[in-house]
Amino acid sequence: MLYGALDAGGTKFICAVGNENGQVLDQVVIPTSTPDETMPKVIEYFKAKIDPSLPDDEKIQALGISCFGPVDVREGSKTYGNILNTPKIAWRDFPMLKTLKEALGDIPMGFDLNVNCALLGEATWGSAKGLLDAVYLKIGMGVGMGAISGGKPVHGMLHPEAGHLIMSRVPGDDYKGHCPSHGACFEGMAGGLAIEERWGKPAKELGDRPEVWELEAKYIAQAITDILLTLSPQKIILGGGIMNQSQLLPLVRKYVLECVNDYIDTKELRNINSFIAPAALNGNQGVMGAIQLASIAAAE
Ligand code: ZN
Tens of pLDDT along 254-292?
999 999 999 999 999 999 999 999 999 988 999 999 999
Number of Cβ within a 10 Å radius of residue 27: 15
What pLDDT score does 235 carry?
98
Residue 116 to residue 289: CA distance in whole angstroms:
8
* Cα Rg, the chain, nearest whole Å: 19
Contact between residue 69 and residue 144 where contact means Cβ atoms under 8 Å apart: yes
Task: Quote the ligand 1 centre to 168 CA distance (angstroms).
Answer: 13
- Measured CA to CA in angstroms, residue 110 lies from 3, 23, 74, 75 at distances of 11, 18, 12, 10
pLDDT band at 224 (very low <50, low <70, confident <90, very high): very high
Contact between residue 276 and residue 249 where contact means Cβ atoms under 8 Å apart: yes
Q: Do domains 2-117+283-299 and 130-278 have the same CATH topology?
A: yes
Mean pLDDT of 201-220: 97
What pLDDT score does 68 carry?
95
Task: Please state, rounded to an integer, the average pLDDT across all residues of the chain.
Answer: 96
Any idea where the domains of the chain sit in the sequence? 2-117+283-299, 130-278
Task: Quote the ligand 1 centre to 165 CA distance (angstroms).
Answer: 7
> 2-117+283-299 maps to which CATH number?
3.30.420.40
What pLDDT score does 172 carry?
95
What is the three-class DSSP state of 7? Answer: strand
Protein residues placing their CB within 5 Å of the ion ligand 1: 164, 179, 181-182, 185
Task: Quote the ligand 1 centre to 31 CA distance (angstroms).
Answer: 26
pLDDT band at 225 (very low <50, low <70, confident <90, very high): very high
Task: Quote the ligand 1 centre to 204 CA distance (angstroms).
Answer: 23
Mean pLDDT of 123-133: 96
Task: Quote the ligand 1 centre to 113 CA distance (angstroms).
Answer: 18
What pLDDT score does 255 carry?
98
Number of Cβ within a 10 Å radius of residue 246: 10
Task: Quote the ligand 1 centre to 182 CA distance (angstroms).
Answer: 4
Task: Quote the ligand 1 centre to 285 CA distance (angstroms).
Answer: 25
pLDDT band at 19 (very low <50, low <70, confident <90, very high): very high
The pTM for the full model equals: 0.94
Residue 8 to residue 11: CA distance in whole angstroms:
8
Task: Quote the ligand 1 centre to 166 CA distance (angstroms).
Answer: 7
Question: Is 90 a residue whose pLDDT tops 90?
Answer: yes
What pLDDT score does 26 carry?
97
pLDDT band at 106 (very low <50, low <70, confident <90, very high): confident
Task: Quote the ligand 1 centre to 65 CA distance (angstroms).
Answer: 25
Specify the pairing of strand 134-139 against strand 235-239: parallel
Task: Quote the ligand 1 centre to 192 CA distance (angstroms).
Answer: 13
Name the class of domain 130-278.
alpha beta
What pLDDT score does 87 carry?
86
Q: Of how many residues is the chain composed?
A: 300
CA 10-14-18 angle, to 5 degrees, is 145
Task: Quote the ligand 1 centre to 184 CA distance (angstroms).
Answer: 7
What pLDDT score does 278 carry?
96
